Amino acid sequence: MNVRERIAALRQEMREAGVSAYVVPGNDPHASEYMASHWCEMQWVSGFNGESGTVVVTEDKALLWTDSRYYLQAGIELEGTGIGLMRESDIDCPSVTQWLCDELRKLRSNNRSSECETRITNDELRIGLNPEMWSVNQFADISKQLSEAGIGVQSTDLIKPIWTEDRPAIPQDRLYPYSADFAGESVESKIARMRDILNGKCPDGKWALLVSALDEIAWLLNIRGNDVEYNPVVISYAVLEQDRCTLFVNSEKIDAAAQNYLDFNDIEIQPYEAVFEHIHGLQGTVFYDGARVNEALYEAIHVQGENGTCTKAVNIQSPILIDKAKKNAVELEGERTAMRQDAVALTRFFKWLEEEAFEKSELTEWDLMEKLHAFRAQGENFVEESFGTIAGYQGNGAIVHYAATKEKCATVHPEGMLLLDSGGQYLDGTTDITRTVWLGGPIPEQAKRDYTYVLKGHIALATARFPRGTRGNQLDALAKQFMWAAGITFGHGTGHGVGHFLGCHEGPQNVRTDNNPTPLEAGHIVSDEPGIYRTGQWGIRTENLITVIPAPQTEAATTEDQWLQFETLTLCFYDTSLIERSLMTDEEIAWLNAYHARVYKETAPLLNADEAEYLARKCAEII
């Protein structure tokens, strides 16, 4: 089926189910950002391949909500589908729920004034939602808002009946143990710490922690897998109790080595779908993270247990999420090792791009992506990319999450702007870096100003010093101040959390405008990636990964507050030909020169003589 046929089939299911609208979020049952293709329902029904979006279908309308990162992409991919684009980052764009309330009020009004015998009553106005695809918090929020407008919610899966023949299966790749030599902590230690935390929250009774987020399960149990592209996780659920830990995973994923590992760590195995029955039988207090556990799991918690024993469901922020974000010393040293491997690959790539690439008759964005992957794959402990490489030439670089394909990509010429956003998954850690370079020819003055504004903001965040308790949104303006002064801004976050051989994006910490209550803590890793995007011309983004470390007390300090600062982890030179020197301060130039000296010192010993000579030129001191 094409997209129009899929929407038509969905509308037929809606009529049979008696719902006036159906909402398809870009979620899976595990609240994953990157999903196994089996659960990419939003993408399948709409033809939009962005990572973030929500589709709403009524009898006569179909709309996609997505944020500013995907406006250009969505405009292209939705063309001819009959699906309209709702630009959710725009101030005047109604939310999905607001739009539904307004639209169904009109429907109710029209039917009340109609002479039709099949008039719709309040009770018959219902929205269809698949509870497995909504977190508990999301489901409660949308249900409350719709209820206030006299609209009901019906739990139903209307995609399953129409997505049949070509729907990918749930992955069954094997899980494997992740050595404590890389993780820096044993499973026994992690589980003991989680139990101590939860015993403190429930000192006098029986409790269980329901875990559905794949990265949390992988971290807690020191397991990894190949079920989700770019994310070394295992499709599973877990329940941690005072006296047992159960992993719900299909048996096809467990070989003899994995079974021995799980047995050694006292981790019980049950089938993936058995989690619902297990939850139903729990007694005492069941802790769950409503932002990550899906509604269907929540509904399986049996409020009244056997023999009159009450089960209490308690919504908390996952203690695993909080601990996982604070990297231990072994994890941080692993990240530094991975960064050196990445630096070697990037140096070789840019040398090839500058000296050899255009000897071919034609070079495409896809060719660049493949070449960079080949260089990274030579690195020690490299496993896979940490996300799909973004190689955006000229105007394609202005599409924030641009995704070239072999069949549809731009030809790259030895002149113009290239934005390259890429990363690797190494057993040692996860990398994510963006560099923007100019390929030959005279550089427009606007391009140099744009690049320098971005670089100044990038340096301002990297050199920030702040008291403990500071949140990422309090630092966000540091990276934007120079752009704002010039009347420029960008719509994506300035920094996201990064996992350790896990998700390239993780929480709870970030650096962005949104009011995130999570303070930055020592051990947190975030990206530092301001950007400027000019539609049809170029995109410029500069990104390093930085980690929070303690800062020394200053002589001028008036309090004994604990202070923090950032250590830059990423090692790769900047394109200094794009810098407008007159816009840079002496302090910024000093930071840049010191950074380049460090890049050369740590990377050159891993290169051959020609590569080291090339790197020395790229890291040459700026006067």
Identity of residue 530: P
According to the model, what pLDDT value does residue 112 have? 53
Same domain, 222 and 137: no
Q: Where are the alpha helices (DSSP H) in 69-186?
A: 71-77, 96-112, 136-148, 180-183
Q: Is residue 543 in a domain?
A: yes
68 and 11, same structural domain?
A: yes
| 141 in the same domain as 191 | no
The answer to whether residues 111 and 149 belong to one domain is yes
Amino acid at 270: Q
Q: Give the pLDDT confidence score for residue 558 in this predicted structure.
A: 76
The domain boundary residue, chosen from 322, 353, 385: 322
| Same-domain check for residues 318 and 347 | no
The reply to whether 517 and 610 lie within a common domain is yes
Per-residue model confidence as pLDDT tens digits over 244-296: 999 999 999 999 999 999 999 999 999 999 999 999 989 899 999 999 999 99
How much is the average pLDDT of 367-382? 97
Q: Residue 308: pLDDT above 60?
A: no
Residue 309 confidence (pLDDT): 56
pLDDT of residue 68: 83
165 located within any domain: no
Give the CATH number, domain containing residue 502.
3.90.230.10
Structure tokens of 414?
């030895």
List of E strands, 322-446:
382-385, 390-393, 417-422, 424-426, 429-430, 433-438
What pLDDT shows up at residue 310?
60
What span, in angstroms and rounded, lies between the C-alpha atoms of 85 and 63? Answer: 6
Q: Are residues 210 and 252 in the same domain?
A: yes
Mean residue pLDDT across the chain: 93
Sign, CA dihedral 404-409-411-417, equals: negative
pLDDT of res. 108? 72
Q: Would residue 571 count as lying in a domain?
A: yes
Checking phi first, is residue 536 left (phi over 0); if not, alpha (psi -120 to 50) or beta?
left
Dig out the tokens for 487 from the structure.
Answer: 């009347």
Task: Please give the DSSP secondary-structure letter assigned to residue 169.
Answer: P
Amino acid (1-letter code) at residue 420 = L
Packing angle between helix 472-485 and helix 445-462, nearest 10 degrees?
160
pLDDT (tens digit per residue) in 428-463: 999 999 999 999 889 999 999 999 999 999 999 999
Is 164 part of any domain? no
Question: How does residue 400 score in pLDDT terms, banded at 50, 70 and 90?
Answer: confident
Helix axes 187-201 and 214-221, enclosed angle (nearest 10): 120
**Residue 419: strand pairing partners:** 392, 436
The answer to whether residues 122 and 38 belong to one domain is yes
Task: For residue 171, tell me if it sits in a domain.
Answer: no
- Say if CB 382 and CB 426 are below 8 A apart: yes
pLDDT digits (tens, 9 = 90+) for 314-335: 999 999 999 999 999 999 999 9
SS3 percent helix, strand, coil of the chain, rounded to 5, is 40, 20, 40
List the domain range (segments joined by +) for residue 307.
176-322
Q: Are residues 259 and 355 in the same domain?
A: no
User: pLDDT (tens digit, 9 = 90+) per residue, 183-222?
Assistant: 999 999 999 999 999 999 998 889 999 999 999 999 999 9
> What is the mean pLDDT of the segment spanning 494-508?
97
- Whether 113 and 98 map to the same domain: the answer is yes
Query: Is there a domain that residue 68 lies in?
Result: yes
Judge whether residue 138 has pLDDT over 90.
yes
187 and 143 assigned to the same domain: no
Mean pLDDT of 545-550: 98
571-607 residue pLDDT tens: 999 999 999 999 999 999 999 999 999 999 999 999 9
DSSP for 473-494? HHHHHHHHHHHHHTT---SS-S
**For residue 168, is the peptide bond before it cis, meaning its omega torsion is within 30 degrees of 0?**
no
- Could you tell me the pTM of the whole model? 0.92
The pLDDT score that the predictor gives to residue 491 is 86
- The answer on pLDDT for 476 being more than 60 is yes
Average pLDDT estimate for 34-39: 93
Do 242 and 193 fall within a single domain? yes
pLDDT at 51: 84
Whether residue 258 is contained in a domain is answered as yes
State which of 155, 186, 221 marks the end of a domain: 155
Cα 104 to Cα 82, 127, 152, 271, 471: the distances in Å are: 20, 10, 11, 41, 39
CA-closest candidate to residue 151, choices 103, 94, 116, 117:
103
Domain count of the fold of the chain: 3
Look up the CATH number of the domain holding residue 73. Answer: 3.40.350.10
Task: Provide the edge-to-edge strand list for the sheet that holds 245-248.
Answer: 267-270, 245-248, 237-241, 207-211, 284-288, 311-315
Please state, as a whole number, how many other Cβ atoms lie within 10 Å of the Cβ of residue 35. 23
Among 122, 155, 188, the domain-final residue is 155
Residue 219, in any domain of the structure: yes
Pairing state of beta strands 563-568 and 544-551? antiparallel
pLDDT of residue 205: 85
pLDDT surpassing 80 at residue 159: yes
Average pLDDT of 467-477?
96
Reduced to 3 states, what is the DSSP secondary structure of residue 317?
Answer: coil
Section 162-173 average pLDDT = 93
Query: 591-616 burial string, b = 16+ CB within 10 Å, else e?
Result: bbeebbeebbeebbeebeeebeebbe
Give one word for 599, left, alpha or beta, with left for phi > 0 and alpha for psi -120 to 50. Answer: alpha
DSSP bridge partners of 437 = 418
